[in-house]
Each structure stands twice: as structure tokens, then as C-alpha cells.
Amino acid sequence: LIEAVGAREILDSRGNPTVEVEVLLDDGIVQRAAVPSGASTGAFEAYELRDGDKSRYGGKGVLKAVEAVIDELGPAIEGVEASEQRIIDEILIEVDGTDNKKRVGANAILGVSLAVAKAAADSADLPLFRYLGGPNAHLLPVPLFNVINGGEHADNGIDMQEFFLAPIGADTYSESLRWGVETYHVLRSELKAAGYATGLGDEGGFAPDLPSNREGLDFLLKAIEKAGFTPGTDIAVGLDVAATEFFNDGVYRLDNKDWTGPELIEYYVGLVNDYPIVTIEDALAEDDWAGWKLLTDQLGSKVQLVGDDLFVTNPERLAEGIRRGVGNSLLVKVNQIGTLSETFDAVSLAQRSGYTAMLSHRSGETEDTTIADLVVATNSGQIKTGAPARSERVAKYNQLLRIEEELGDAGEFAGRSAFPRFRG
């Protein structure tokens, strides 16, 4: 039974305040969870409550959310069995009382939801992935390493936000991790040799001032080859365009040019022909449903088209997308929706509808590694949690090494089959 719930304000990887929650059970178990925070957030995400008091952290303090945990959310679930996750999440949603968790904040609610799950797992003496996923949780994900950072995550001129390495051809998770890391280091040397800065962006990728987006893909391919791998077979590439960020009044602004939706789609078709791209996220803006439909009709059979700002891990937005035949993959961010139960609902709707699901960090992260367990619990087979650098990113990749070890022979690496392109 839940005996007490506490909360505090801690810092995330960008030096901004965020919520940490601790749950104490009557058997003496204590577990904590910390909440991440985005920069290129979707308009339809659950509400992140910040104090707005300019005298503290430039208004970004989260003391109100902390207070809501201590005064309202905690007391509402005290005495409830910690393993009753769905009941607890429903209580949290009811206490808030709004449809986007605006009153007490999705950051307050999520902290409690995750800490409860961790405490229940610990109390059952199970690893979190096993507790959340049950006896069939066994699939180790392909890690998508965001090795070049642009957009809102870096102060360079690259429009696209994320350039991924996807080591799909490895035999195991740990081998895919090594391949990604080796290529990441070669990429650094290549950028340096070409006279570019090798400072890091928010997600641990390099943030060079490249002249175009294609140049970013060229560097990935060069690095893959120089590291001794075959592009496409061993290591594929991917993009998170985060197109909402450069969409205004019906016009996309990319590479210093204006594009209509259909023009941009033609540009993507060209990229897919020229590079071994297995996944493109947010290729179009969050409210460009017509563009998304056209994109999916053109590229959906070849490429994974991931909806991040489009779906915001929201089962209702996803259902709308499925109805319209838009996208073929769900990006899963726990803080976009605010409870673990609703996250599971979104993932299971995706999986039942033939959509893939990719677990994801946020650009503002903490040392919390819950998403590593969640990707195995859901057998989703794909995770993006930054470059293999910066401890808040590496913490998740390291947790997956522990899970791989724990699973032993029962574990299976998702590899190529994680992506629609190889599913036939």
C-alpha cells in the first residue's frame, strides 16, 4: 500500500527545474522518478506547469507542481495498492479535473505515476521492465542515435532537428550500441577534419554549422563507411525533421527556401532515393493533416513515418491519424500524455493498428531511466535517447545493457524487423 508521496524540485540536463517524486510503501520500499521536458513541444501535449515567477529560474520553477504532488495527488492515492496502476492513474487524472492536465500539471502527475510503478516493481521484487511488461517482455530495441543536432536543440543553422544512426544489422543490442558509438567517434573526426565545430547539442549530438540538411546525411554516410560499416545494411539513417518548428502560414522554410507541403514531400522522396533512410519523424507540421496523408501515400510503404508533435502520445490523436491513414509509427513520450496507463493505451493502439512505436526521451532529461524499461516492457523494438554522450542520454543506453544481461537467452534484438521497410 502507498503510505506517503513526496516531491522536490531538481534540475534537468539543460539546467532547468523539473519535478522529482518519491513514493513510500508500507513495506518500507522507497522509489523515485524524475520528469523530462521538451523544447520543440507539440501544441497538443499535456500541460507542463511552471511557476511563472520571474524571480526564480526565469519563471521556470516547478514549486506549484511539487506542491500539488504533496498536497493533492499524494493524499488522494495514499492507502491504495501500488500495483493498481490504472486505478491510481485515474485518480490522478480526476484530481486534476481538466482534459490536458492543466490544473496540477502533467509534470506533477507523471512524476507520481512513474514513481508508483517503480515502487510496485521493487515491492514485487521484479525488474521494472518485467513488472510492466509481464513474462513476454523480451525485445531489445534498435537504438536510434541522434548524432547531429539542429533545430531547437542547437544554435547552428541546420533546420532539421535530429540526424540518426540506426545500427539495424547488429546481432545484439550491445553490438548495435558499440557500432553506434564507434561511428559517432569517427563522425567527430570527420567533422573536425572538415573544419566544423564539434561541440554538442542538447541531445549529445554534434552541432556543426552545416550549409544544408543533405550535408548532414552525407556526413553520416561518410562516418558509417569510415568506421567500417555498410550504410543501409549495417547502419541505416533516419531524421526527425520537427517540421512544425519551421512551418508558418502554410509555408515550410527549409534550406533558406519556401516550400509548400507537396514540394517538401518531393524533396523527401529524393532523400529516400539517395540515402538509406528507414525512419522520418515529423516530416510535416502537427496540423498539416492533408500533407501527412499525401506523404503517407507516397512514402508509407518504404519508410517509417513517425508522428511526434502530430500524435503527442495521445490515444485520441493517434486514433484520428489511423482513421485518416496518416503516418505509420507513433513516437512515445511519457510526459506528452502524463500517465503510464495512457502511455500503454497509446502504444497498444499503435501495435493493434499495424503502427510501430518508438520510445523517446525529451531534449531536457534527467538520470531517470524508466523509458529503457518501458521499451522492453512493450516489445516496441526502437528507442531514441540521444547520442551516446552526456550522462542523461547514456544512462538509458546503459540501463538497456543491464536489461540485456538480465534477459540472457530470453532476450531478442529487434534489428531490421523493427522497421516497416524490412517487414515486407
363 marked as binding residue: yes
Q: Is 360 or 399 the residue whose CB approaches ligand PGA more closely?
A: 360
What's the residue count for the chain?
A: 424
Residue 303 · residue 277 · CB < 8 Å: yes
Binding partner of residue 38 among ligand PGA, Zn ion, none, CB cut-off 5 to 8 Å per kind: ligand PGA
In the numeric block, the cell 556543426 is attached to 208
Which one among 12, 240, 342, 368 touches ligand PGA, defined by CB under 6 A? 240
328 binds, among Zn ion, ligand PGA, none (CB under 5 to 8 A by kind): none
Residue whose CB is nearest to ligand PGA in the complex, by number: 38
Write out the binding residues for ligand PGA, residues 12-51 only, by CB under 6 A.
38-41
β-partners of residue 357 are 330
42 φ, ψ to 5°? Answer: -80, 150
Site size with ligand PGA, rule: CB under 6 A:
11
Q: Is 366 in the site for ligand PGA (CB under 6 A)?
A: no
Q: Does 242 sit near ligand PGA (CB under 6 A)? A: yes
CB of 386 to Zn ion, least distance (A): 12
Whether residue 80 contacts residue 2, with contact meaning beta carbons closer than 8 Å, is answered with yes
**Which residue number, 31 or 41, has a Cβ lying nearer to ligand PGA?**
41
Q: Please choose, from the candidates 298, 372, 391, the residue with its C-alpha nearest in 3D space to the C-alpha of residue 332.
A: 372
335 and 107 Cβ atoms separated by less than 8 Å: yes
| Contact partner at residue 296 from Zn ion, ligand PGA, none, CB < 5 to 8 Å by partner kind | none
Strand order across the beta sheet in which 247-248 lies: 247-248, 251-254, 257-259
Site for ligand PGA in 159-198 (CB under 6 A): 161
Q: Which residue has cell 534498435?
A: 142
Closest CA to 47 of 99, 121, 123: 99
Beta bridge partners of 31: 23
Contact in structure between 37 and 364 (CB atoms under 8 Å): yes
188 annotated among ligand-binding-site residues: no
Q: Which residues are known catalytic residues?
A: 203, 333
Residue positions forming the annotated binding site for Mg(2+): 240, 281, 308
Known binding site: residues?
Answer: 161, 240, 281, 308, 333, 362-363, 384
Question: Which residues are near ligand PGA by CB under 6 A?
Answer: 38-41, 161, 240, 242, 308, 360, 362-363
Binding positions for (2R)-2-phosphoglycerate are 161, 333, 362-363, 384
